[in-house]
Amino acid sequence: MRVEGPWQVRAQPLLALLGDAGHQALMVGGCVRNALLGAPVGDVDIATDARPEQVLALAEAAGIRAVPTGLVHGTVTLVQDGQGHEVTTFRRDAETDGRHARVEFSQSLAEDAARRDFTMNALYARADGQVLDPLGGLPDLRARRVRFVGDPAARIAEDYLRILRFFRFQAQYGDPEMPMDAAALEACAAGAGGLARLSAERIGAEMRKLLAAPDPAPAVAAMDRTGVLAQVLPGGDSVPLGRLVALEGDLPPGALRRLLALGGDAGRLRLTRAEGRALATARTALAGDAPPAELGYRLGAEAARDVVLVRAARDADPPPPDWQAQVARGAAACFPLRARDLPGLEGPALGAALREREARWIASDFTLDRAALLR
């Protein structure tokens, strides 16, 4: 079996650089997996038996820019035509603590494959596209079955983030019609407490990717059943998420919208300030009963749309038939009064007067004009 595509052509000069020097050089992981699935290929990573210092020396001699991005883990980034490729030496884990690993370099492809997380990620390809499958990952990939390499509990104990990666890969690549791997689910449930050892940055990054999958609901429901969701999003409820995905239709996936549907304490996700403000505003609106038009006026069309959909998902009650038109009308509405229209008032009194008139204007369905509001 072979893989091919423009992404493969980009890596050829680097594969040749290492291969001509007598080293093994293989494309590995996501690029091979996605190419076999017919999915878009992003970064092209390269695995080699050359040690990092040898990679650096070869790059220097060839005039290729080399960035020592992770020498302790055997990784050098080679920049070719403005495109960075991570080149990593075959390695095996010498010591792990659930967050980090101390690695030893290896000359063995089998050892390198054995330290990877899932069988579908332990796929390699030669420069000519010939696929190498040292651990039998191809049948899993064809079946869209997410399965840990070797003992799931051992893989998780090496890095507890693999629990979240399991559910993320299930959402992105798993077959939703097939049961999830029972041994993996059992190991995720048993190791869920180890997620507390991870940084909020790592958890947040993985959860964003998971919630941006086309349909993360089955995977998140499994997280809920195994106790994993409670570890990363205390108080979160997976049930509204499935309803929300059904209501989204052709909308592009929105991680923040789906997080709003889950509820719970998002403190372990390390949101950006902008994300935190947007989520807090949406949650306040969700707790109220403002109609779609008022939400459109107060929040803007996009945020109002999300609140309407999440409210419907939470309440298991379809939104009003014309809700989209109402949101658009509210978002386009412009309050006709300004502070200068109320001379003689200032400070808190001015603010209260404007708010009172704005409330009347909204209650009129945005029909009262400036003159009516001033009377």
Q: Enter the tokens of residue 134.
A: 């040292």
List the 83-89 sheet strands across, edge first: 65-70, 75-80, 83-89, 45-48, 25-28, 124-125, 131-132
The alpha-helical segments, DSSP class H, found in the chain are 6-20, 30-37, 52-62, 109-114, 137-142, 152-158, 161-173, 182-191, 200-211, 217-226, 228-232, 239-248, 255-262, 273-287, 292-299, 301-315, 323-332, 347-363, 370-374
Q: Enter the tokens of residue 191.
A: 């190791």
**b/e for 128-137, b at 16 or more Cβ within 10 A?**
eeebbbbbeb
Q: Enter the tokens of residue 307.
A: 């609140």
Which tens digits make up the pLDDT trace of 141-198? 999 999 999 999 999 999 999 999 999 999 999 999 999 999 999 999 999 999 999 9
Strands 101-105, 83-89: parallel, antiparallel or unpaired by DSSP? unpaired
Which tens digits make up the pLDDT trace of 38-63? 999 988 999 999 999 999 999 999 99
Which tens digits make up the pLDDT trace of 113-142? 999 999 999 999 999 999 999 999 999 999
* Contact yes or no for 28/131 (Cβ under 8 A): no
CA 154-160-162 angle, to 5 degrees, is: 80
Q: How confident is the model at residue 98 (pLDDT cuts 50, 70, 90)?
A: low
Q: What is the pTM of this model?
A: 0.91
